[in-house]
Structure 1
Amino acid sequence: MEIIQVVGLGLISTFLILVVKEQKPTFAFLLATFTGVIIFLSLIGKISDVLHVLTQLAEKAKVNTMFLETILKIIGIAYIAEFGAQVTRDAGQGSIASKIELAGKILIMVMAIPIITMIIETVVQILPS
Structure 2
Amino acid sequence: MEIIQIVGLGIITTVLVLIIREQKPVFAFLLSIFVGVMIFLFLIGKISSIIRVLEHMALKTEINMIFLKTILKIIGIAYIAEFGAQVVRDAGQEAIAGKIELAGKILIMVMAIPIITVIVETVLKLLPT
| Normalised-by-shorter TM-score class | over 0.9
> Cα offset for 1:98?
0.4
Alpha-carbon distance in 2 for matches of 1:18, 1:120: 52
SS at match of 2:63: coil
Tell me the equivalent position of 1:61: 61
AA aligned to 2:79 is Y
Alpha-carbon distance in 2 for matches of 1:76, 1:87: 16
SS at match of 2:62: coil
Q: Deviations over 1:42-89 (max 9, x none)?
A: 000000000000000000000000100000000000000000000001
AA aligned to 2:10 is G
> Cα offset for 1:20?
0.5
Alpha-carbon distance in 2 for matches of 1:95, 1:19: 26
Tell me the equivalent position of 2:104: 104
Cα root mean square deviation, aligned: 0.4
- Any runs of at least 4 consecutive aligned residues in structure 1 with deviations exceeding 6 A, and if so which? none
Which blocks of at least 5 consecutive residues in structure 1 are unaligned? none
Percent of matched pairs sharing the same residue: 71
Alpha-carbon distance in 2 for matches of 1:108, 1:126: 27
AA aligned to 2:32 is A
Tell me the equivalent position of 2:8: 8
Alpha-carbon distance in 1 for matches of 2:72, 2:80: 12
Tell me the equivalent position of 2:119: 119
Alpha-carbon distance in 1 for matches of 2:53, 2:31: 34
Alpha-carbon distance in 2 for matches of 1:45, 1:76: 15
Which blocks of at least 5 consecutive residues in structure 2 are unaligned? none
> Cα offset for 1:12?
0.6
Q: TM-score if structure 2 supplies the norm length?
A: 0.99
